Amino acid sequence: MIKKLRIRLTLLMATMTALVLAGALLVTWKLSEEQYQTSAEALFDNNFSALCDRLIDAASVTDTWLTEQERSTGYWLFLQDNGASLHYAGSLYGKTPREELEKLACAEARLYLDFTWKDDSGRILRQEAHFTMDGPAGNSYFGAGALLPRGTNGEYLLVVSLQDSVFLTQHFLVSALQYGGLWLAGSLFLVLISYWLAGMALAPTAQALRRQKEFIAAASHELRSPLAVIKASLQAIGDNPVSDRKDVLLHSAQSETDRMVHLTDDLLLLANGDLENMPTNLELLAPDNLCIEMYDQFYLLAQQSGHSLSLLLPDGPVNRIQADEERLRQLLSILLRNSIEHTPKGCTIQIVLAGGTDREPVSISVIDHGPGIPDDAKKHIFERFYRADASRTNKLNFGLGLSVAQELARLHGASLKVQDTPGGGATFVLRFPQR
């Protein structure tokens, strides 16, 4: 499901960003083409004006010079002296014969020039006109025509230049391919980025689903054992109601039922914590009084288990904390029972209250001097159904205690961490936020 969702998110993000990229590149490409055409027309006009400047000052023009001009600029040049064509061997040839193209170009240029415009002495005035025209072969041209005075009696030189605009089409296609390739490369890059971002966005969801599956599988496994015992016990009683082992079987079924109740309570607490729907009754509590009560509650249990339990409180007054007393007792009970169960007889267990001033937050530590917790297990100690010692046979332990404790700590906005006890052992530190 996550994989399909990631693919869908990738396609959605990649499509949206690719469309935005396509729009940006389309606008850029259009502006670029317009700028290129404007520059090409300006260059053509400037070259033509420079040619006319040289022709108006030249006493004579050779065919060789005109041919070199065509070859260097790529423009067709046509000249008429008082209406008579000056034929010369040009360097440019196309689909349309040169003579036919000259007639069409000169006729088009005459439409934009005024041959009656002269000064008071009868000298024709210089004029330039720029136009576009279509050729008979289906192509189009940039065109320019000029009237240059050649004397005082109205003599003139008609100069016409053409440039085939096919280069614009070629540039149009080449640039379209370039921008298209850029869009494809950009879209591929966006797909990769989108796939990575979708993976990053869905990572917490994937992890939550994985943990949920593991949680359900582990819970089902833990529930199967007591249910099997209860079923077997009840079946044995049903098969032989007067059996001498009836009381033992009923006690076994009752014990397994208690185990299931304890397990379901823990599961319900964790589920409510995941949904952030855990009921609480926060109030101001005196942490020193709570620690004294927890010491009194567990003193005999620790002594019966072969442990000594001690309590260390600050000398001065301790600030109160905002907490749910029942939940906080449950948390500390988990830590104390964990220390009693996991340390050899004869080890000392300490309840240490520290801080509680305006400068230092309240912290409650449960310290034991047992074998401690390996470093590789510290990373998983608060995970659900995790057991540091897989060989343990204590049936009352489901591997949920410390997970419940951490969830209860989070409920109070506190942090619960484990560290090594100097000299050996494990120390669980519950630190409350500064008020």
Query: How many other C-beta atoms are found inside a 10 Å radius of the C-beta of residue 353?
Result: 19
Supply the pLDDT for residue 218. 61
Q: Are residues 413 and 290 in the same domain?
A: yes
Contact 365, 336 (CB under 8 A): no
Which amino acid makes up residue 173?
L
Which tens digit of pLDDT belongs to each residue from 247-266?
A: 777 777 787 777 677 667 76
Which tens digit of pLDDT belongs to each residue from 305-335?
A: 899 999 999 988 888 998 988 889 889 998 9
Single residue among 112, 138, 172 that ends a domain in this structure: 172
Q: Are residues 143 and 23 in the same domain?
A: yes
Model confidence at 398: pLDDT above 60? no
Whether 230 is in a domain gets the answer no
Whether 84 is in a domain gets the answer yes
Q: What is the mean pLDDT of residues 353-370?
A: 89
**pTM of the entire predicted model:** 0.52
Q: Which residue has the higher pLDDT, 109 or 358?
A: 109
Whether 274 is in a domain gets the answer no
Supply the pLDDT for residue 33. 92
Q: Which helix (H) or strand (E) holds 69?
A: helix 63-73
210's torsion region: left (phi>0), alpha (psi -120 to 50) or beta?
alpha
Q: Which residue has the higher pLDDT, 345 or 392?
A: 345
Q: Poorest-confidence range of 19-23, 75-79, 305-309, 373-377?
A: 373-377
Model confidence at 161: pLDDT above 50? yes
Q: Are residues 6 and 150 in the same domain?
A: yes
Q: Are residues 166 and 288 in the same domain?
A: no
Single residue among 151, 172, 193 that ends a domain in this structure: 172
SS (H, E, C) 170-182: HHHHHHHHHHHHH
Q: Are residues 290 and 166 in the same domain?
A: no
Single residue among 154, 172, 190 that ends a domain in this structure: 172
- For 126, the domain range is 2-172
What is the spatial distance between Cα 201 and Cα 153, in angstroms, rounded to a whole number?
86
Supply the pLDDT for residue 330. 87
Model confidence at 132: pLDDT above 70? yes
Supply the pLDDT for residue 396. 47
Whether 426 is in a domain gets the answer yes
CATH number of the domain that residue 371 is part of: 3.30.565.10
Strand partners, 244: none
Whether 213 is in a domain gets the answer no
Q: Are residues 164 and 288 in the same domain?
A: no
Contact 16, 114 (CB under 8 A): no
Whether 268 is in a domain gets the answer no
Beta-sheet pairing, 321-323 with 308-312? unpaired
Whether 135 is in a domain gets the answer yes
Supply the pLDDT for residue 276. 66
Distances (CA, A) of 124 to 79, 127, 130: 17, 9, 19
Whether 240 is in a domain gets the answer no
Supply the pLDDT for residue 395. 45
Q: Are residues 6 and 149 in the same domain?
A: yes
Number of independent structural domains in the chain: 2
What is the spatial distance between Cα 118 and Cα 152, in angstroms, rounded to a whole number?
10
Model confidence at 392: pLDDT above 50? no
Question: By percentage, how much of the chain surpasses pLDDT 70?
Answer: 88
Model confidence at 274: pLDDT above 80? no
Contact 427, 418 (CB under 8 A): yes
Buried b (16+ CB within 10 A) or exposed e, 238-249: eeeeeeeeeeeb
Which tens digit of pLDDT belongs to each residue from 71-93?
A: 888 888 999 888 888 877 677 77
Beta-sheet pairing, 348-354 with 308-312? parallel
**Angle, alpha carbons 59-60-65 (nearest 5°):** 130
Supply the pLDDT for residue 394. 45
Average pLDDT, whole number, for the chain? 84
* Pick from 82, 119, 78: nearest CA to 99: 78
